[in-house]
Amino acid sequence: MTTGVTAHDAKFLTDALNRLRSDEAIAGSYVLVDHHEANTNVIQLQAAGQGVDELASQLDETKVQYALIKMTEQFDIATTHKFVLIRWIGDKVPFSKKGRYGIVFGAVNDQFFSPSHAQLETSFLDDVTHENINKLVQETSGNESKVVENAQAAHMVKRGFTAVPATQPPKSKSNIIPVSRGGAEVRHGDDVTEAIAKVRSDDSSTTWACIGYEANDVKKPLQCIATGQEADVEAMKGCLEDDRPLYFLYRTSDTIDSHVTVKFVYIIWVGELVKPMAKAKLSTHKGVVQELFSGCHVTLFATNKSEISASIILDKVQSASGTKSNVK
């Protein structure tokens, strides 16, 4: 499938987003977007309004929706505007479609919502409250103790499976939240870069590496969880846990006219039981973590084990290289 995205009635959407970013838009203003006729590659303006509660009332459990909302943050006596991107994934969206929507999210964000100061991905209405969004803004800027509520601000002038258990990297402070063009800072030990290098090396028998967060805490550094010496996808899937976010580098090959070429697949796993606030923090890591895995031919995002298999990976590799019809 294509990863490109267009807008239905694009002028209405761009005008709404421009108004939201203008000085005239007040705190709490939002723009809500969904997919036109459930088309993965076409989005449309659904609504524009004011207030987190009003926004939450329009979130649909059968849809994937995106909302950009304008908040305020207080630095000493100065009030600044902050934009939060909410990615809503309804509980009743089929697993297969979640994967497709996940593939195009990067394009949706880059083309229509970037830049934003923080991101929240959730399927739970309880997460879409003024308190939670305001807290996310505070954490994003690292100024939680300085941020005040809007009401207060108004009174003042934010390669079989031979899994190799990884050694624990040295403890280090992890700065998880801030969003910039390149993403938040994410720390990692030498074990991570070494594992990735082994997968990429023609002299190594390692075909995959699993990278996760220390103690399954997204505020902590990344570490290597396991590596494998054979390209066994099912063995690699033994690392998957429903409450754990993980990243994989997988080495495979594609055959073009009898010539075998090496292909690298970057897999992002966010289990269905990963907490919503953790998902929000993960979204800020995207750019930096992707740099660790740069140079991959295919990216696969999955939330359910059924979305990762040898056939799915092969299909994506072949589609990306344009060899699907003549692979030997």
Q: Which CATH class is domain 6-153?
A: alpha beta
Q: Alpha-carbon distance 319 to 326, whole Å?
A: 11
Q: Alpha-carbon distance 164 to 167, whole Å?
A: 9
Residue 328 has pLDDT above 70, yes or no: no
SS3 179: coil
40-49, 228-237, 316-325: lowest mean pLDDT where?
316-325
Domain coordinates of the chain in residue numbers? 6-153, 190-321
pLDDT of 310: 93
Q: Please tell me the number of Cα atoms within 13 Å of 44 on its side-chain side.
A: 9
Residue 172 has pLDDT above 50, yes or no: no
Q: In this structure, what token pair is assigned to residue 117?
A: 């100061």
- Indicate the CATH number of 190-321 among 3.40.605.10, 3.40.640.10, 3.40.20.10, 3.40.50.2300: 3.40.20.10
9-13, 50-54, 78-82, 164-168: lowest mean pLDDT where?
164-168
Confidence band for 76, pLDDT divided at 50, 70 and 90: low
The stretches of 150-224 forming alpha helices (DSSP H) are 150-153, 190-200
Q: In this structure, what token pair is assigned to residue 289?
A: 């973590």
Q: pLDDT tens, 110-164?
A: 999 999 888 999 988 888 999 889 888 888 766 554 334 444 434 333 343 344 4
Q: pLDDT tens, 30-58?
A: 999 999 999 999 999 999 988 999 999 99
Instruction: Tell me the residue length of the chain.
Output: 328
In one-letter notation, the amino acid at residue 187 is R
- From the list 166, 110, 136, the residue with the least C-alpha distance to 278 is 136
Q: Are strands 245-256 and 222-228 parallel, antiparallel or unpaired?
A: unpaired
Residue 249 has pLDDT above 90, yes or no: yes
Residue 298 has pLDDT above 80, yes or no: yes
